[in-house]
Structure 1
Amino acid sequence: MITMRAAAGSRIVIHGAHVDSAEHRGEVVETRGEDGGPPYLVRFDDGSESLLFPGPDCELEHAHPEPDAP
């Protein structure tokens, strides 16, 4: 079984279950599982927050660290 891994700042997209369903997007605020595993506390773009166990309709966009300034 492959487990999704996230970090604070990662973006999560929940794809709509139906053709006309909107996607939900948010930012992972906190990971509560071991080693970045679920559940995740997610702040959605509409301002709501939820504890999320991602399913097959979720996609994770990892946060990229800022490059060091010269």
Structure 2
Amino acid sequence: MHAEVGDRVVIHGRTVGTSDRGGTVIEARGPDGPYVVRFDDGHETLVHPGPDLTVVPPPS
């Protein structure tokens, strides 16, 4: 999974009743991750890509 700085990511909830989380990539530490993501609530964390992550490129 490839993402670049400025791309939006969505981490889908893995259990029933868990909502999705969205954020913006603010740093890419490798070509395929991990990524530093600032979530919509302001929290920043290191995210390793997996099957529950979707990358949404910015609109052109």
| 1:30 and 2:19 matched | no
Q: How many residues in Structure 1 have an aligned counterpart in Structure 2?
A: 60
TM-score (norm 1): 0.79
Identity of aligned residues (%): 47
Aligned-pair Cα RMSD in Å: 1.0
Compare CA radii of gyration and give the structure with the larger one: 1
Identify the residue that residue 21 of structure 1 maps to in structure 2.
Answer: 18
Q: 1:10 aligns with which of 1, 7, 11?
A: 7
Name the aligned partner's letter for residue 40 of structure 1.
Y
4+ residue runs of structure 1 moved beyond 6 angstroms?
Answer: none
Gaps spanning 5+ residues in structure 2: where? none
Structure 1 counterpart SS, 2:6: coil
Q: 2:38 aligns with which of 19, 43, 47?
A: 43
Does the 8 Å contact 1:7/1:63 carry over to 2? Answer: no
